[in-house]
Amino acid sequence: MSVDANKTLVSKFHQVVMVERRLDEVAQFMRDPLLDRDSKGAPETLDHVKKSFAAYFSAFPDLQSKVEDLTAEGDKVVCRLTVSGTHQGEYMGAAPTGKSFSVSAMHIFRIVDGKITERWEWVDRMGIRTQLGIQN
């Protein structure tokens, strides 16, 4: 796959899964399981990936995710996002506050044979907690 084809794959993944929330289509874009490098490279099943997205969509029903840059080299594509939403459902154990947040997030994807096989992700969780006023 060329660098441009990899970028197209990540753009489509973002549009279909994160914007249109068609979670049943995740398998078109990701190998099952993929390697989640933030959990020390543990295999993560697509079932788990879908559940994490669903948890965000349920905590923040108006969640918006905007791609700021896509940067690609070799078999990697980096996606820098701005994510925003209103806290209307439970988020990591915290009851809904009704407050809104807007933070940055970044994902690095490694793509092999047209599918995302590894992921490093970063979301400004501290920023989300601060903006929502979650203490615990």
Q: Which residues bind another protein (CB under 8 A)?
A: 3, 36, 38-39, 52, 56, 68-69, 71-74, 76-78, 80, 92, 103-106, 108, 120-127, 129-130, 135-136
Rounded Cα–Cα distance for residues 23 and 99 (Å): 26
Residue closer to another protein, measured from CB, 16 or 106? 106
Output phi, psi for 87, to 5 deg.
Answer: -80, 95
Residue closer to another protein, measured from CB, 86 or 103? 103
Rounded Cα–Cα distance for residues 13 and 27 (Å): 10
Shortest Cβ 98–another protein spacing (Å) = 20
CA dist list (Å): 66 to 3, 43, 79, 93, 122: 21, 27, 10, 26, 15
Shortest Cβ 47–another protein spacing (Å) = 14
Shortest Cβ 99–another protein spacing (Å) = 15
Shortest Cβ 27–another protein spacing (Å) = 19
Q: Is 46 helix (H, G, I), strand (E, B) or coil?
A: helix
**Tokens 């078109």 sit on residue:** 28
**Tokens 């490694």 sit on residue:** 110
Residue closer to another protein, measured from CB, 15 or 104? 104
Residue closer to another protein, measured from CB, 47 or 68? 68
Rounded Cα–Cα distance for residues 73 and 51 (Å): 30
